Amino acid sequence: MTINANKFYIDGEWIEPEGATPFTIIDAATEEPGGQVLLGNAQHVDLAVKAARRAFSSYSQTSVKERLALLNRIIAGYEARRDELAQAMTDEMATPITFSKAGQVSMALFHFQEMARVLETYDFERYMGSTLIRREPIGVCGLITAWNWPLSLVTAKVAPAIAAGCTVVVKPSEMSPKSALVLTEVLHDAGVPKGVFNLVFGEGPVVGEAIAGHSDIDMVSITGSTRAGIRVAEVAAPSVKRVTQELGGKSPNIILPSADLASTIPAGVMGCYINNGQACQAPTRMLVHRSQRDAAIEHAKKSAEAIRIGDPNDPTTQLGPLVNRAQFEKVQNLIAAGIEEGATLVTGGTGRPDGFNRGFYVRPTIFADVTSNMRVAREEIFGPVLSIHIYDDEDEAVEIANDTEYGLAAFISGDLEEARRVATRIRAGRVYLNGAAVDRTVPFGGFKRSGNGREYGVFGFEEYLEVKAVLGHAAA
């Protein structure tokens, strides 16, 4: 693996950023240096914002037909480089290559495809009596993304912004720059006009805050930790710009007594461990009826211990290492806290898996008899750690599920009518019933400290539009 991100993309050109700071990227599987990225500063953000502002005056006036043609060229260019994009994500964050190809790349592509579908039929104007209601592009958008879904998080914001007629300044995570570079090449080759898309690498407290606080940015959208989302909102407040946030999660997975444990428990374990356990809506809290405790633990233990851990480039690997040392140490500390606080350790625990003496690998871990006051139940772990909670009746299951500061997603399995009833009581932005597949056409976003605003489909598209009322437009 070699990652060299030594240039920024501003105003349609690759530039060598003066005054940028080198940052060494560490290979998560080997703990060896794997390249570097240059970290920018507020001056680089200002250059990018000026370019985006210049471009907005013309790009915002392009026709739907022109923007559809651009999206279709992007889609074609992206599809031609799918394998390269998948390899980039495996290189930079150790996502197993099979999942990079089947999950990460496909999900990111879908955002462009979905925005083309939305744009083709979207009604930007309608009347309310004699008043014309127009939806217009909001302006220059600052887009800040995390490392765990490095392409999907970027395209979930860039695609609707471009479709709406906005211009953007993007700050991907410095932990995952390679896929962002390849995506930028795709956009450039597709003919994105100068200044419409601008890319600046940098750390959150420097580049992220410069974006959030810039007076000439009209909207900022962040995907990241709740702490980072709060800081962005604070910095953005004086300029009264729109702020949308997709933040942390601690999703409950309610296994109703009517559910088939032999299928739902293994699915719940794998859902928790998806993307090496680094997914914000992963079902990390499994709620099991007391009468089914022992059987559920047996199924969960068997599933976790069958997971194939290995080299991210091996097509048979299901679980690779965490992204970096800081994340590895955080997860180790939380596993230790679970043991110290009295949760039943079903499998896994602290340290690396057997046979691994280097790399940020974590043992697939399951705790049982977890209570809501424990750290493993309250904190977003972002690693392959599942907590099993025990409940006695539906009311208690709902109470445990909602006893969290987060509200991004929830999962319910069992009799459909019962599951539907429970779903209405859950405080979360998405609820999946009986293994329902991810749908990228419907809104995605959270309640409570999981954020505000929505992404995906028409709901995500409309976040990038402002509403104007033109009174007296129609003849009386």
The predicted structure's pLDDT at residue 101:
96
Task: Compute the distance between CA of residue 75 and CA of residue 165 in angstroms, rounded to an integer.
Answer: 17
| pLDDT interval class at 388 (50, 70, 90) | very high
* pLDDT, tens digit (0-9, with 9 covering 90-100), for 145-188: 999 999 999 999 999 999 999 999 999 999 999 999 999 999 99
* pLDDT, tens digit (0-9, with 9 covering 90-100), for 186-199: 999 999 999 999 99
Amino acid at 304: A
Residue 4 has pLDDT above 80, yes or no: no
Output the pTM of the full model. 0.96
C-alpha dihedral sign at 323, 201, 114, 221: positive
| Torsion region of 435: left, alpha or beta (phi above 0 gives left; psi -120 to 50 gives alpha) | left
- Bridge-partner residues for 258, per DSSP? none
Average pLDDT, the chain: 97
Mean pLDDT, rounded, for 87-98: 95
Amino acid at 450: S
C-alpha dihedral sign at 14, 16, 20, 26: positive
| pLDDT interval class at 74 (50, 70, 90) | very high
Residue 15 has pLDDT above 60, yes or no: yes
Q: pLDDT > 90: what percent of the chain? A: 97
* pLDDT, tens digit (0-9, with 9 covering 90-100), for 25-68: 999 999 999 889 999 999 999 999 999 999 999 999 999 999 99
CATH top-level class for 3-247+450-470? alpha beta
The predicted structure's pLDDT at residue 475:
75
The predicted structure's pLDDT at residue 415:
98
Amino acid at 308: R
CB 207 within 8 A of CB 199: no
| pLDDT interval class at 2 (50, 70, 90) | low
CATH top-level class for 252-439? alpha beta
Which of 290, 369, 278 lies closest to 324 in space, CA to CA? 278
End-to-end distance of the chain based on CA atoms, in angstroms? Answer: 67
Q: pLDDT > 70: what percent of the chain? A: 99
**How far out from the chain centre does Cα 315 lie?**
24
Residue 3 has pLDDT above 90, yes or no: no
Mean pLDDT, rounded, for 321-329: 97
Mean pLDDT, rounded, for 215-224: 98
Which residues carry out catalysis?
Answer: 246, 280
Q: How far is CA 79 from each of CA 72, 104, 105, 148, rounded to the nearest angstrom? A: 11, 13, 9, 21
Helix, strand and coil content of the chain, in percent to the nearest 5, comes to 40, 20, 35
Task: Compute the distance between CA of residue 309 and CA of residue 445 in angstroms, rounded to an integer.
Answer: 31
The predicted structure's pLDDT at residue 268:
98
What residue segments make up the domains of the chain, in order of their start?
A: 3-247+450-470, 252-439
Residue 115 has pLDDT above 60, yes or no: yes
Q: How far is CA 118 from each of CA 314, 418, 441, rounded to the nearest angstrom? A: 37, 34, 9
Please give the structure tokens belonging to residue 159.
């695609």
The predicted structure's pLDDT at residue 5:
81
Mean pLDDT, rounded, for 288-316: 98
Residue 302 has pLDDT above 90, yes or no: yes
